[in-house]
Chain A
């Protein structure tokens, strides 16, 4: 990091810092990385991500990559996917992983927590309809367990089913015999991961 040299486009970085909460140095680092990934182009596309060697072993790499191209993560109330992203969107998506600093109020913490949970939610909810259905959840669980190679799909399915049941029981409580559990909405999701210390776990030191 070191001393802040004259970064190109420093003015726009002020916006970015305000928007995302990163510091100048961090944005500088991210800029370098962006350039590296995109081979000095202006935008990143999916195939750029596919080139990252270390990601190949990650079972949920598809979801991670998609998360970058998902408009809902851009904090702009958009929906749907884009084909390529610029540096700003890159930073915005990265900002989901910022650690909460020590001097934060409860509200800010809550906000950050919600953001992170929203990010996760979007990762699950691939069809953008605002709920995680069983199929989507199953898909995620399968992906998670896929690389181990030892479990069959049935197990993943049953685990996903059990998990959905839990959500159902936690969030909806008692259900009528004929009710059908549509899917996990964001509120249910929040409730589900209530005790979960996502602020500390979903962070990267930049």
Chain B
């Protein structure tokens, strides 16, 4: 089955390539090194629309390719890249062993080969302007927007240290050593002087986040390592660009003076801090702007994106670090914006950012492959080999030395394995590539540099990228155990955080938490008042729900005595069936996750809780409101059908069903967002379930709170009673709903609301006699809990 799908995908890919090539070569304009003009000159051999003497009929079918050529080709390339991505993910095993970037580069190489064979020029993507203005911003915006702020700020010292000092160390070290190598006459490289070497080494010391983060996510390394690598990559981009500009300036100069060096250092600070300043400024303006957009919700995503992009461009205008600008803009903006905009806009923004960055990345790696084949190379074995060697060497030494320096300052020091991960994870990527292509032409050995850059990129991405995963697993780097968390662990980790926070308060510590607290206080008092719109009623979906629920409950109550049966809707049946056939495991995971989310989102936030960083390509898991409504209605209908509820349960019925099981990708990866969002009534996972299969613990007896249950006990139906809660800042009365089983005879029953323990117990007891029902805790506070051994109702076991 897989093979067939692969075959199909492969053919599709191939066809698309051919199509692309045909069209490219059929087009009448060849791409030049600058963006092609929009208006191509008309070729003389095309039929002109002269009003000629002879009668020319109205053409039935004309084709004007040149008009649409550019957008068409762009779209095709994007599609091609996407097909490639789809193709990889069809066969999951590939992506485990070979990171996606490698695959994309390989496909790019193949396509490049084809293009070379047909003597076609690649599209002119790697001009500096197109890369830096169009392809890089989405990627960086994505990194900035989804950066987990708390771990990031906790580790910011380390991150900055590694990024700045590390990159400097790398570039200067490699540059000097390469210069030394160049002095050796045997290699024929003597025409490369020191500034050029330094320039080159600045280019190749830019670490690229994309490739390495893919791997780290898959392997689930511990959060610290992840954050440091992530942050380092982000900032090293900025540092590299600064260094590049500096060195390229120096290259131009005939003589370098100490003053220039001093200026260089100063410029570095200007660039870095300037970038941050611009970003923060734009972030605040954007946040302020969103305060007033409640009437025009549709353009909210646009505002966010445009402000970020503007921050980037403005920074480029002043030749300060645009990467830092857009990252800080996203960081600043996100917190306030997510409180101001509507739920839909929030989702839209996130999705759009993800989509854009995904496309950009894909295209980038793809073109890397293509351009590799089609550029003119100059190969010099010694230079390239020594480059590789020194790059690796200096990175390892650099990481070692830097961790020795910074470890005493860290709460959680890096052990040797982490250091290995750090050193080995220094993959080069797109930034180096782009910078190499923007080298000015007056450098004699430009082609050599380009070739060397490509070589090192390919080497690191392929060799290191493929081997890092088994290596990390073998040496057993500390992982996050995000999938194996139990509720207890969650509770205790929160407990611990609060305890530590409390003890720190006791100690009166003035560590970085102090500044953070100060900032939070400032934030709460001043910033939030300015930047956040006060009225939240419109976005409080929960308030709406409450209204609906109460209405419904009232209606039901009014009619309950009459034993009205609602006709089962198609939806409810469908829902039932759908739910009943879900496998156990998924439900458990979802339940646990819900519990965990409740815990994580509701712990108080003097210190922000740990954001469990699930991965770069994950979007936070929002609840699906429609599903909630549907299920809710279904359950009410079902309960009405069987006529089995007690009024006391329904008086304060408020139901929030769990969201359906999300698709795989998101199940594995999830963000727990700061709870500020939850407070504003964003419908998030707001359910908890009482997990009550306590049969084994002996005290839970069957709950025939309704007569119908007895009738239906013949089926091995589980009646699951769910406790639901909602969290919003309105005081939503919280209650339980008795959800009895249904009269369909599906053997699998509604098995919602089971915890792990339950499932095991159930599974083990499955072969035994019909299962009793589980009791939920009724609202009347009689704690019917197995752990307390107080059976409330008489069992009517079958």
Identify the A interface with B (CB < 8 A). 30, 33, 36-37, 49, 52, 54-55, 57-61, 63-64, 94, 97, 99, 102, 120, 123, 134, 140-141, 144-145, 147-152, 154-155, 157-159, 161-170, 174-181, 192-193, 195-198, 200-206
Q: Are B499 and A60 in contact (CB under 8 A)?
A: yes
Q: Are A202 and B602 in contact (CB under 8 A)?
A: no
Q: Are A30 and B604 in contact (CB under 8 A)?
A: no
Decide yes or no: A161 and B699 within 8 Å by CB, A94-B503, A154-B777 being known contacts.
no
**Chain A residue nearest to B408 in the complex (CB):** A102
Segment 665-722 of B: residues with Cβ below 8 Å from A: 675, 678-679, 688-692, 694-699
Q: Are A159 and B491 in contact (CB under 8 A)?
A: yes
Query: Which of B412, B689, B761 contacts A200, CB < 8 Å?
Result: B412
The residue in B487, B603, B755 that gathers the most chain A C-beta atoms within 10 A of its C-beta is B487
Decide yes or no: A58 and B502 within 8 Å by CB, A102-B413, A167-B488, A195-B481 being known contacts.
yes
**Chain B residue nearest to A157 in the complex (CB):** B777
The answer for the CA separation of A148 and B692 in the assembled complex, in Å, is 25
Give a binary string over B779-798; 1 marks a CB under 8 Å from any A CB, 0 the rest: 10001010111000000000
Specify which chain B residues have a CB less than 8 angstroms from the CB of A58 in the assembled complex.
498, 501-502, 505, 604, 606
Specify which chain B residues have a CB less than 8 angstroms from the CB of A36 in the assembled complex.
508
Query: Which of A37, A54, A159 contacts B487, CB < 8 Å?
Result: A159
Decide yes or no: A152 and B725 within 8 Å by CB, A102-B407, A144-B494, A144-B495 being known contacts.
yes
Decide yes or no: A150 and B488 within 8 Å by CB, A158-B688, A159-B599, A161-B690 being known contacts.
no
Q: Are B698 and A204 in contact (CB under 8 A)?
A: no
The answer for the CA separation of A193 and B787 in the assembled complex, in Å, is 21
B507 within 8 A of A: yes
Interface size class of B (residues with CB under 8 A): 35 or more
The answer for the CA separation of A54 and B695 in the assembled complex, in Å, is 45
Beyond contacts A150-B729, A192-B488: 15 other A-B pairs, Cβ-Cβ < 8 A, are A55-B502, A58-B502, A58-B505, A59-B604, A60-B495, A60-B502, A63-B499, A94-B503, A152-B725, A152-B734, A154-B735, A157-B783, A162-B755, A196-B489, A205-B511
**Chain A residue nearest to B756 in the complex (CB):** A166
**Chain B residue nearest to A117 in the complex (CB):** B492
Specify which chain B residues have a CB less than 8 angstroms from the CB of A49 in the assembled complex.
506
Specify which chain A residues have a CB less than 8 angstroms from the CB of B481 in the assembled complex.
195
**Chain A residue nearest to B412 in the complex (CB):** A200
Q: Are A203 and B411 in contact (CB under 8 A)?
A: yes
Specify which chain B residues have a CB less than 8 angstroms from the CB of A178 in the assembled complex.
698
B509 within 8 A of A: yes
Q: Are B598 and A161 in contact (CB under 8 A)?
A: no
Q: Are A57 and B606 in contact (CB under 8 A)?
A: yes
The answer for the CA separation of A158 and B603 in the assembled complex, in Å, is 16
Q: Are B494 and A97 in contact (CB under 8 A)?
A: no
Q: Are A169 and B777 in contact (CB under 8 A)?
A: no
14 inter-chain pairs at a CB distance below 8 angstroms, sorted by A residue, are A36-B508, A52-B506, A58-B505, A120-B499, A148-B602, A151-B598, A157-B777, A159-B688, A165-B694, A166-B756, A192-B488, A196-B493, A203-B500, A205-B411
Q: Are A144 and B498 in contact (CB under 8 A)?
A: yes
**Chain B residue nearest to A65 in the complex (CB):** B502
The answer for the CA separation of A176 and B699 in the assembled complex, in Å, is 11
CB proximity of B583 to chain A, nearest CB, Å: 20
Specify which chain B residues have a CB less than 8 angstroms from the CB of A154 in the assembled complex.
723, 725, 734-736, 777, 779
